[in-house]
Amino acid sequence: MGALEGKRWLITGAASGIGRASAMLFAREGASLLLADLAAEAGQAAADEIAATGGRALFTACDVTREEDCARAVGCVAEAFGGLDGLLNCAGIVVRRSVTELEEADWDRVMAVNAKSVYLMSKHAAPAMGPGASIINLGSGWGLVGGPRAAAYCASKGAVVLLTKAMAIDLGPKAIRVNCLCPGDTDTPMLRQEAEQLGVSEAEFLLQSAHRPLGRIGTPEEIARAALFLAGDASSYMTGSILLVDGGGLAGG
């Protein structure tokens, strides 16, 4: 039996990057999955790949900044699998701008996708969960320390960190655990988009991102394994915790 055998999970941002890697791993560990993302073609392809290998996965197109979409996604899990045991909030975007460079619309969009979505999904998921359920929110190393030309992103991920702690306090009496997973630079499409936003070559940007004690950036699969730890019984006494997985990037900070 896998670590998540018989469990039912909803994963946002599941079409690519850490969300997709987590979906693949959770499926191999026995979970039934609802994958939610705006990228319908890639999201459906991820669900089809899981199904082709004997797993259980459905896809729903979902704008995580809209409450009706979040409520519908939770309803889909309950209808398809008979309940909900876990929520992994992976949806996220980045805009590399300082406060003085940032447009108000960009601020609003980053805060909505990265932070408001956690509130909306959790608002509807938690009532559908029973004792022993788990919510994992994807933060960032830059939710713990600041970074250059990333004002909205840092603010949004800092909000996720403290929202996680507040949710853990509120949901603890219901035996629902809430933890925050904070990756360092990870080789995802979003990381590579940052190079374009900053006007530097992708190779140069990835080389700079590898400046940490382990001398490399992470892989989505490595972050997914940390998510699996937070999802399963191995972390049964953890809630309100921040798990930093960054190759030592903040070890001296």
How does DSSP classify residue 6? T
Which of these, 95, 88, 41, 31, lies nearest to 64 by C-alpha position? 88
A 10 A CB-CB count for 232 gives 18
Q: How far is Cα 245 from Cα 242, in angstroms, rounded to an integer?
A: 10
**Active-site residue, from 59, 81, 142, 153:** 153
A 10 A CB-CB count for 214 gives 13
Contact 224, 250 (CB under 8 A): no
Cα–Cα distances (Å) from 23 to 49, 148, 226, in that order, read 10, 31, 13
Task: List Cβ neighbours of 104 (8 Å cut-off, separation of 6 or more).
Answer: none
Sheet of 134-138, strands arranged across = 56-61, 32-37, 8-12, 86-89, 134-138, 177-183, 242-245
Catalytic residue list contains 153 = yes
Task: List Cβ neighbours of 64 (8 Å cut-off, separation of 6 or more).
Answer: 12, 13, 36, 70, 89, 91, 113, 117, 120, 121
Q: How far is Cα 180 from Cα 227, in angstroms, rounded to an integer?
A: 9
Tokens of 182: 């904070």
DSSP run (H or E) holding 28: helix 17-28
Give the residue numbers marked as catalytic. 153
